[in-house]
A = this chain, B = another copy of it.
Amino acid sequence: MQTISKNKCFGGVQGVYTHRSNACACDMTFAVYQPPQASEGPVPVLWFLSGLTCTHENAMIKAGAQAWASDHGIALVFPDTSPRGEGVPDDDAYDLGQGAGFYVNATQDPWAKHFQMWDYITDELPTLLFRNFDLDEDAQGITGHSMGGHGALTIGMSFPDRYRSLSAFAPICNPSASDWGRKQLTAYLGADEMEWAKHDASKLMADKGYPGHVLIDQGAADANWDLLRPDAMQAAMAGRKQAGTVRVHDGYDHGYFFVSSFMEEHIIHHADILYA
């Protein structure tokens, strides 16, 4: 692992790091924010998974999360959204290939060799993270935005013992029934929709739910509402009386001005659980 940059930020350190990924067969970059409390011992960790077209950098720069992570003693991890670089396949569309890994392990060519983002996020990067940073592996939460909200919900529900807190900003809730999903799941996983089920947050919610209180924020003015399908998630949550808070905010759209506006409440949501 190599350090690309370190900047003091709200009393802590915002770092950017790169490493060779075996899962993705390429170099991968990620960012970690260590709050000031980290200098006195391991602190809880909140994973933030980003959306289509993003790298590790977008949320690190635009979400404003460090201010409140510093207040509440939470470390932040911002992974990239896909493998990248020469030799890594891509697509002309913004929503397939590089920048659009969808947090799955691809089984189909040409994607299978590199696009193993499920393993990268849930196995390789955590191993690297806890070996190199003094963080509390027993106090992890996960959140994300849009495609990253999809990743947070599907990963959080799949590893509920590991991710003790779960939230999402405008997540892709039902990719099996959305143009933000069907195309990508077909490309990465093939046409058999049975293979998609574990990557559909609304189906996972209907099938198994999550053992904690889930927080989901959504803007009412989000132009992607029909692609995100928050209605499907709300129906699945209601169907099993899932503990949670789903909020639709008048006037907010899909961008980082929306994400940052509610970031403090997400940080507090996770801190309350991870410090309990």
Contact residues of A with B, CB < 8 Å?
Answer: 7-11, 14, 61-62, 64, 66-67, 219, 221, 249, 251-253, 255-258, 260-261, 264
Taking a contact as CB atoms under 8 Å apart, the answer to whether A67 and B66 are in contact is no
Known: A8-B258, A67-B260, A67-B261. 9 other contacts (CB 8 A): A7-B253, A8-B249, A8-B251, A9-B257, A9-B258, A10-B260, A64-B67, A66-B260, A66-B261
Are A261 and B11 within 8 A (Cβ)? yes
Cα–Cα distance between A264 and B70 once the two chains are bound (Å):
13
User: Closest approach, in angstroms, between the C-beta of A270 and any C-beta of chain B?
Assistant: 18
Q: Could you pull out 26 A-B pairs where Cβ atoms are within 8 angstroms?
A: A7-B253, A7-B255, A7-B258, A8-B221, A8-B249, A8-B251, A8-B252, A8-B253, A9-B258, A9-B261, A10-B260, A10-B261, A11-B261, A14-B257, A61-B61, A61-B62, A62-B62, A64-B64, A64-B260, A66-B257, A66-B260, A66-B261, A67-B67, A67-B260, A67-B261, A67-B264
Shortest C-beta distance, A117 to chain B (Å), equals 26
Chain B residues lying within 8 Å of A67, measured Cβ to Cβ, are 64, 67, 260-261, 264
Query: How far apart are A51's CB and chain B's nearest CB, in angstroms?
Result: 16
Question: Chain B residue with minimal CB distance to A68?
Answer: B67
A8 to B7, CA, bound (A): 29
Residues of B within 8 A of A255 (CB): 7
User: Taking the nearest CB of chain B, how far is it from the CB of A55, in angstroms?
Assistant: 15
Contact partners of A221 in chain B: CB under 8 A: 8
Query: Are A257 and B64 in contact (CB-based, < 8 A)?
Result: no
- How many chain copies does the complex carry? 2
Measured CB to CB, the closest approach of chain B to A71, in angstroms, equals 10
Task: Report, nearest first, the 6 A-B pairs whose CB atoms are least far apart.
Answer: A9-B257, A8-B251, A7-B257, A64-B64, A8-B252, A10-B261
A67-B67, A264-B67 as given contacts; A256 in contact with B10, CB under 8 Å:
no
A132 to B224, CA, bound (A): 31
Assembly CA distance A260 to B14 (angstroms): 12
Q: Which of B8, B251, B256, B261 contacts A257 (CB 8 A)?
A: B8
Among A7, A219, A258, find the residue whose CB has the most chain B CB atoms closer than 10 A.
A7
Complex interface: chain B residues within 8 A of A264 (CB) = 67
A260: B residues at CB distance < 8 A: 9-10, 64, 66-67
Which residues of chain B come closer than 8 Å to A253, judged between CB atoms?
7-8
Q: For A10, what are the chain B residues with a Cβ–Cβ distance below 8 Å?
A: 260-261
Q: How far is the CA of A11 from the CA of B258 in the complex (A)?
A: 10
In the bound complex, residues from chain B placing their C-beta under 8 Å from that of A257 are 7-9, 14, 66
